[in-house]
Structure 1
Amino acid sequence: MKNRLSIKLFVLIAVVGMLLTGCNFDKSKETDSKASESETTAAGQVLNMVEASEIPTMDSAHAHDNVSFTVLSNVNEGLYRLGEDKPELAIASDDQVSEDGLVHTFTLRDAKWSNGEPVTADDFVYAWQRVFNETGHYASMFETANILHASEILKGEKSVDELGVKALDEKTLEVTLTAPTALLGQYLTFPTFLPQNQEFVESQGNKYALEASELLYNGPFVLSEWKHDESWKYEKNPEYWDAVSVKLEEINVFVVKEDATQLNLYETNKVDIINLSSASVDQYKDNGDFIALADSEIFFLRFNHNHEALGNENIRRAIDMSWDKKAHVDTILNNGSSALYGLVPKGFSVSPDGEDFRELNGDLNADTIEKAQEFFAKGLEEVGQDSVEITLTVSAVEGNDKTAEYLKNQLETNLPELSVDIKLVPVEQRYELETAKEYDMVISAWGPDYVDPMTYIGMWVTDGSANRMDYSNPDYDAIVNKINSENDPSKRYQMLLDAEKILFEDAAIAPLYQRGLAVLQRTNIKGLVRHPSGPDFSFKWANVEGE
């Protein structure tokens, strides 16, 4: 799971005055004065970007959000990294696989940490075990990747030192699986699998990863500055093993929450890439800098299955069917997003025969308002209530309030017995409430961790860390387990399709939309790689044309 908390907005011209004063563009009075101080354009390969929120954590054992993933994946590197079009070997120079496919032996490059120490096999063993010791959000990724004993460790049946990872010597790492997986390279690009230097981590104690100086780096860039809630800065890492491929010298990131402020910065040539809000799309869609991009992030309603009414399948199904999803994306979002009637989005995955997953399974739980009302009436009878009052929890991010208001209006209009109260909370609080299951219904987002439908399907197993709503179906759990051990691509794909159908037969969730992006981007930014899974971007191959 990758919980995308915000949209990445990349920009080009270096704003020197802002860097020196640690600006926060969100403070409107400061913005104008600081912008006036920023007429000097930095020379050379410098990329500036704006980000809608602070970095929640730089500890790869705890990272669970899009901002952290993107930063971590550009300042650190694991055995594999996301390449320009597929996973590629990174710190590992070689991946030898045993005949039965269960043992991978990785040979490490002569890579260094930013303090000059070598990256060793022990750094991977320590970091991977630490994810379990720290009860990290993504410990389940080791189970998904079929790492030996990961399941038993998660259940408390084995100790963490029995995890299937072993340092044979300083430059040789052995990883043992419970079953072969062709997706191992994809899984290993995920930030949870990054190495950590044990001596350094332990020397920092509770301060580890709280500041730029309390981290070590082995990737294309280092984090040279981190002003919390204001800005952070990447600089090219001269110790990186493939530094010759890195063109950018510096990347500056400013926390800018307001859409209007971002647009003003673009129009005044202070920034060079922004994501447009729905209100601005029509004005700029004919602009030569305008780009419409498809995205694999989905938004959906997560139901608390312990709720007296929302625990009822017919009530959940009625909510899913009782509002106009197409009108929402066309009029409220207006940014290229598309209505979603399933779990796996369109254009994300194709079968071994080349057919799109979403096309194969079609629209699920799509019907008329009248049919939704029938389901709702049946559900009310089953729970013994005449009406239902629920609270809809929503992250307080610009634009979410409009979606929430639209949804409230549609549900209350089409299901008169339903009353919806909107509760806006900070992003992190929304996640905490989800984890504690202290909500009725919540608008959630999910971006893929790797390019395979299982990144969505695997969310809903009983007691899974991503479930966060107490949904449980033994048949669903069983088919997911079979998928994880099936080596025939066609059989496996059919099981993925069947699993999604089970989820919607239960009306476990209510999909809202597949995100689209409306972007303004100047044409001299080249090589900035956008990923369909994991971190949003890689800067390794980016450059500013003409510099």
Structure 2
Amino acid sequence: MKKRLSILFSMLLVMSLFLAACGFGGSDSGSGKEGGSGDGSKEQALRVNIKTEPFSLNPGLANDSVSGNVLRQTFEGLTRLDKDGKPTEAMAEKINVSEDKLTYTFKIREDAKWTNGDPVTAQDFEYAWKWVLDAKNESQYAEMLYYVKGGEAAHKGQGNIDDVGIKVVDDKTLEVTLDHVTPYFLELTAFYTYFPVNKKVAEANDKWYTDAGENYVSNGPFKMSEWKHSDEIVLEANDTYWDKDAVKLDKINMYMINEPSTELSMFEKDELDWAGNPIGQLPTDAIPQLKDKGNLNIEVKTGTYMYKFNTQEEALSNAKIRKALTYAIDRKAIVENVTKAEQVPALAMVPPQAYGDEKNELFKDADVKEAKKLLDEGLKELGMSELPAVKISYNTDEGHQKIAQAIQDMWTKNLGIKAELNNQEWNVYIDELQKGNYEVGRMGWIGDFNDPITFLEMFKDKDGGNNDTFWENAEYKKLIDASRGETDVEKRLDILKQAEQILMDEMPAAPIYYYTDAWIQSDSLKDVTVLSTGDVQFKWAHFE
């Protein structure tokens, strides 16, 4: 996934990584073995692997799928995506929308409480949203609040934070005025950047979110009782949650094991109740066997696995060089021989389903002839006789490594280019990427909601929180801005397609494949909600 990184980050597994947020298409299928506890009883305790330490468990700083999948259990926004991926009332018990669809009035539940017993108030939402828009807090997902009137100007220092369209009418009423009509705004309010933060707690301790304990106050179906950094997070059912009767699990153990084979082994030993996406990862070599056994779940995901180019690097500042590297990749070979979980070769940035499941192909796969031509032209424009060795960076992961090795071989074989591989642990990797300390870097972007704009908007500004390519194009910016004000659905999609064509003509990032989620789970585990945007919700999960 961000960054808000979708952020991605939103974004980090072989079969489905990163970043996001809202979407559709739930699933609760089972496979494989009985579970729930090591002794075979139906204790309501879930054991999962989240792979790595979350980037941040502050909703305003989180920009990746690991953080997001924890926050969705411990926090709740004004809305929540239901089992079908549709926004429904959550912290807000009533929502009124003005006739011009620009003003939303949210009535917050009287029984909405924080884990410390404090009431959830409109001031908590106002505080959290304005905190994100305050540039000094360096939220990578601040753009998510640009939909609010005055949000972008405030974040960029061109307006006053007090003039943003967020108004506290009273303790339980929040009025939000939008910059432009946004049909998916109620999906956005279910995304973690829009979650509230306990104002009183945060103002008393600006590091409230760094450890479990009395300072870590949340408002979702679960509360964090333990956080052993880089090892395990333990969640318990939240007895102050307004809808606590719907929550069946008593406990969730979230382990941090960054080795897919270990994750699968633990599942087979009945030490985990879930193995694989979108929270963990299965070893790619095990995918075919699991498919043959018939106990592998695979679902299409609205997300794109990509290689970002740092356009500040001399060689990669040339669009023809970037396109040459992109065209020389054989995506069909990667999804068939490396990832193996029915991923689809990506020949555009936006997954087809975001446009309504129509075909979306803007270049040819493995177009080696054109790649060679573009490489020669690009080198001439740069005054170079050959391309220096290219460094491919990725976060430590078996799948990312195999993909990098495959692309390394393709670039050498098809273009005669040397490529070096550089792997780093996730938190280090994402920090280096955001600082521009890379040449080519792998990333995944999972749609924050099911719309093309979530894949295109992050490339609008070179200093945007999730635009680690540092690319910018004036015409592209105009089209993205124009799409915001267009209320005709077909005209809006046409504008976005024009923008995507510019993106693929300039190629600041190379799409590799469209994600799927692949996992196995205990037969007795029911009603885990997996959405096409990679969201996982355990609110309704239980063991039978």
Normalization by structure 2: what TM-score? 0.90
In 1: Cα distance, 2:81 partner to 2:518 partner: 24
> 2:302 is paired with a residue of what secondary structure?
strand
Residue 478 of structure 1 aligns with an amino acid whose one-letter code is K
**Aligned ranges for residues 247-258 of structure 1 at < 5 Å?**
247-258=248-259
- Match of 2:409? 409
Answer yes or no: is the 8 Å Cα contact 2:74–2:222 preserved in 1.
Answer: yes
1:379 matched to 2:378: yes
- Match of 1:96? 96
- Match of 1:62? 61
In 1: Cα distance, 2:434 partner to 2:266 partner: 37
Residue 263 of structure 1 aligns with an amino acid whose one-letter code is L
| Runs of 4+ residues deviating >6 angstroms | none
**Aligned ranges for residues 214-293 of structure 1 at < 5 Å?**
214-275=215-276, 276-293=282-299
In 1: Cα distance, 2:83 partner to 2:292 partner: 29
**Aligned ranges for residues 70-469 of structure 1 at < 5 Å?**
70-85=69-84, 86-110=86-110, 111-133=112-134, 134-143=137-146, 146-275=147-276, 276-350=282-356, 356-357=357-358, 359=359, 361-366=360-365, 368-389=367-388, 390-416=390-416, 418-463=417-462, 464-469=464-469
Answer yes or no: is the 8 Å Cα contact 1:14–1:252 preserved in 2.
Answer: no
Identify which range, 202-211 or 505-514, moves more after superposition.
Answer: 202-211
In 2: Cα distance, 1:157 partner to 1:465 partner: 17
* TM superposition shift of 1:43: 4.0
* TM superposition shift of 1:525: 1.7
- Match of 1:495? 495
- Match of 1:480? 480
* TM superposition shift of 1:458: 0.6
1:408-435 deviation line (CA, Å, top 9, x unaligned): 111011111x221111112222222221
* TM superposition shift of 1:112: 0.9
* TM superposition shift of 1:13: 3.9
The count of residues paired between Structure 1 and Structure 2 equals 511
Residue 297 of structure 1 aligns with an amino acid whose one-letter code is G
Answer yes or no: is the 8 Å Cα contact 1:12–1:47 preserved in 2.
Answer: no
1:377-426 deviation line (CA, Å, top 9, x unaligned): 1111111111112211111122211111111111011111x221111112
CA 1:238–1:532 in structure 2 vs 1: closer, same or farther (change >3 Å)? same
> 2:391 is paired with a residue of what secondary structure?
strand
Answer yes or no: is the 8 Å Cα contact 2:47–2:271 preserved in 1.
Answer: no
Answer yes or no: is the 8 Å Cα contact 2:223–2:235 preserved in 1.
Answer: yes
> 1:405 is paired with a residue of what secondary structure?
helix
**Which blocks of at least 5 consecutive residues in structure 2 are unaligned?**
18-29, 277-281
Answer yes or no: is the 8 Å Cα contact 2:125–2:196 preserved in 1.
Answer: yes
Residue 118 of structure 1 aligns with an amino acid whose one-letter code is P
* TM superposition shift of 1:299: 1.3
- Match of 2:12? 5
Residue 54 of structure 1 aligns with an amino acid whose one-letter code is E
User: RMSD of aligned C-alpha atoms?
Assistant: 2.0
* TM superposition shift of 1:536: 2.2
1:357-385 deviation line (CA, Å, top 9, x unaligned): 4x0x3242546312211111111111111
Answer yes or no: is the 8 Å Cα contact 2:328–2:371 preserved in 1.
Answer: yes
Residue 237 of structure 2 aligns with an amino acid whose one-letter code is K
* TM superposition shift of 1:262: 1.5
Residue 135 of structure 1 aligns with an amino acid whose one-letter code is E
Answer yes or no: is the 8 Å Cα contact 1:273–1:522 preserved in 2.
Answer: yes
Answer yes or no: is the 8 Å Cα contact 1:45–1:250 preserved in 2.
Answer: yes
1:226-283 deviation line (CA, Å, top 9, x unaligned): 1111111111111111112112121111122222212222222222321232111222
> 1:413 is paired with a residue of what secondary structure?
helix
Answer yes or no: is the 8 Å Cα contact 1:80–1:87 preserved in 2.
Answer: yes
In 2: Cα distance, 1:113 partner to 1:507 partner: 45
> 2:205 is paired with a residue of what secondary structure?
helix
* TM superposition shift of 1:49: 0.9
Higher relative contact order (CA 8 A, sep 6+): 2
CA 1:520–1:14 in structure 2 vs 1: closer, same or farther (change >3 Å)? closer
In 2: Cα distance, 1:375 partner to 1:363 partner: 16
Residue 254 of structure 1 aligns with an amino acid whose one-letter code is Y
1:449-480 deviation line (CA, Å, top 9, x unaligned): 11111110111112322212221111100000
Answer yes or no: is the 8 Å Cα contact 2:141–2:193 preserved in 1.
Answer: yes
Answer yes or no: is the 8 Å Cα contact 1:476–1:503 preserved in 2.
Answer: yes
Residue 66 of structure 2 aligns with an amino acid whose one-letter code is V
Answer yes or no: is the 8 Å Cα contact 2:330–2:366 preserved in 1.
Answer: no
In 2: Cα distance, 1:128 partner to 1:249 partner: 31
**Which blocks of at least 5 consecutive residues in structure 1 are unaligned?**
16-38, 351-355
Residue 60 of structure 2 aligns with an amino acid whose one-letter code is A
Answer yes or no: is the 8 Å Cα contact 1:296–1:532 preserved in 2.
Answer: yes
In 1: Cα distance, 2:324 partner to 2:461 partner: 24
* TM superposition shift of 1:326: 0.5
> 1:54 is paired with a residue of what secondary structure?
coil
Residue 462 of structure 1 aligns with an amino acid whose one-letter code is D
> 1:347 is paired with a residue of what secondary structure?
helix
Answer yes or no: is the 8 Å Cα contact 1:220–1:242 preserved in 2.
Answer: yes
Identify which range, 462-471 or 110-119, moves more after superposition.
Answer: 462-471
> 1:286 is paired with a residue of what secondary structure?
helix
> 1:310 is paired with a residue of what secondary structure?
helix
Residue 407 of structure 1 aligns with an amino acid whose one-letter code is I
Residue 74 of structure 1 aligns with an amino acid whose one-letter code is Q
In 2: Cα distance, 1:457 partner to 1:434 partner: 19
1:205-238 deviation line (CA, Å, top 9, x unaligned): 3344432432112111111121111111111111
- Match of 1:32? none
Answer yes or no: is the 8 Å Cα contact 1:365–1:504 preserved in 2.
Answer: no
* TM superposition shift of 1:521: 2.2
Residue 445 of structure 1 aligns with an amino acid whose one-letter code is G
Residue 139 of structure 1 aligns with an amino acid whose one-letter code is A
- Match of 2:22? none
Answer yes or no: is the 8 Å Cα contact 1:296–1:515 preserved in 2.
Answer: yes
* TM superposition shift of 1:286: 2.0
CA 1:524–1:348 in structure 2 vs 1: closer, same or farther (change >3 Å)? farther
Percent of residue pairs bearing the same amino acid type: 30
Residue 45 of structure 2 aligns with an amino acid whose one-letter code is V
In 2: Cα distance, 1:48 partner to 1:511 partner: 33
Answer yes or no: is the 8 Å Cα contact 1:12–1:49 preserved in 2.
Answer: no
